[in-house]
Structure 1
Amino acid sequence: MSNTENFECGYVYHIYTHANAKDLIFREEENYKYFLEKLIKYIIPIAEIYAYCLLPNHFHLLLRFKNLDDVLSEDGHKYLMKQFSNLLNGYAKAYNKRYNRKGSLFLDYLKRKRVNDEKYLIKLLHYIHNNPVNHGFVEDIGEWKYSSYNSYINLTKESQIERTEMMQYFETVDNFIEYHKSNIEYDFLQIE
């Protein structure tokens, strides 16, 4: 996967990054909440977020960029990257100040892969939501508070997550839950 792949409006992407070296991105609950606030501020205006998962040293997003071509006077990729730069830099500055640390918090690039296949899309949803289980943070997927999984389980509760698009692949919420409990091989993801 190329990390230099340009973002394009209207397409779905799996976006992720890792803490620099052995650092943590999230140390306490307030960190997760603050990151989600920044995510809403900078990313919701440009994208529909289908799924997310925040873990202590990395995060995953599954989103579709809105069709902004008609309102963008500059290069679309540059504009979309600027929003992510604002998110990550704003978070890192606040984090560094809070913990009296210096230097880069995140790796120096945002990993990304465009999603062009429905089967791949659905498997990514499974992968992102099961990340806390796969990394041993929880035994049950619903126990992890910092992912979009529980937003899908309670569809009557208001959410910033765009759930309609992904729920079209599942007949019911129970079907969604069962799918997430199933075992799937992730070697297809090619995640570095």
Structure 2
Amino acid sequence: MINTENFEFDSVYHIFSHVNGRELIYREETNYQFFLKQLDKYIIQIADIYAYCLLPNHFHLLLRFKNSENVNVEDEHQFLMKNFGNFLNSYAKAFNKKYNRKGALFLNAVKRKKITDEIYLLKVLHYIHNNPVNHGLTSEINLWKYSSYNSYLNNIKASRLNRTEIMQYFDSLEIFKNYHHSNVEYDFLNIE
């Protein structure tokens, strides 16, 4: 079930949202870049990002929320949702202004699924990175430049991602690449 769980500190989530209606969230290259800039501004301070994929009409994030000593446990969901709301609102406001558009850009709810085990985590990672292929936007995952996949391949370059956490599940970069090119069943991900 999606969206029934409250956000919790030190928990890993698959988070995704879709455009409201049939429009696009990203119309041009600068939109993708600005979205990632806003992700840095609002989310990096509260979460370690493990993976992302931005597609024309939706996005996926895989992240772990950091602990905050300044927030009571009872308030953690509201604190984390507020940061997410600010993130998406900042993007939507800039997008609406740039394209002389009015109204909500994203669907009302941020969909989320708590990751509870290693198998689920790795399947979500595979799903997120293969999303452009699954939607017919590219034939190879490394050709989609709005995903974190290539950042893992070029691990010398600095990144907004916490690649170390994910790479501990793979003995080498070659195993990481082979896993992403293998067939994985997504039926139990329940993300629709």
User: In structure 2, how many angstroms separate the alpha carbons of the residues matched to 1:4 and 1:168?
Assistant: 30
Deviations 1:122-167 (A, max 9, x none): 0100000000000001001000000100010011111010000110
**CA positional deviation for 1:67:** 1.1
Match for residue 38 of structure 2? 38
**CA positional deviation for 1:15:** 0.3
RMSD of aligned alpha carbons: 0.9
User: In structure 2, how many angstroms separate the alpha carbons of the residues matched to 1:116 and 1:53?
Assistant: 21
- Pick closer, same or farther for the CA change 1:66–1:90 going to 2, 3 Å: same
Query: Please, which runs of 5 or more residues in structure 1 have no aligned partner?
Result: none
Match for residue 93 of structure 1? 93
Moved over 6 A (4+): none
Match for residue 71 of structure 1? 70
TM value normalised by structure 2 = 0.97
TM value normalised by structure 1 = 0.97
Match for residue 172 of structure 1? 172
Deviations 1:88-135 (A, max 9, x none): 101001001111111110000100010011000001000000000000
Match for residue 9 of structure 1? 9
**Aligned-partner SS, 2:70:** coil
**CA positional deviation for 1:72:** 1.3
Code of the residue aligned with 2:126 in structure 1: it is: H
1:1-192 mapped onto 2 (5 Å cutoff): 1-68=1-68, 70-73=69-72, 75-192=75-192
- Percent identity of the aligned residues? 65
**Aligned-partner SS, 1:75:** helix
Number of aligned pairs? 191
Query: Please, which runs of 5 or more residues in structure 2 have no aligned partner?
Result: none
**Aligned-partner SS, 1:106:** coil
Code of the residue aligned with 1:125 in structure 2: it is: L
**Aligned-partner SS, 2:22:** coil
CA contact (8 A) 2:2 2:191 kept: no
Code of the residue aligned with 1:105 in structure 2: it is: L
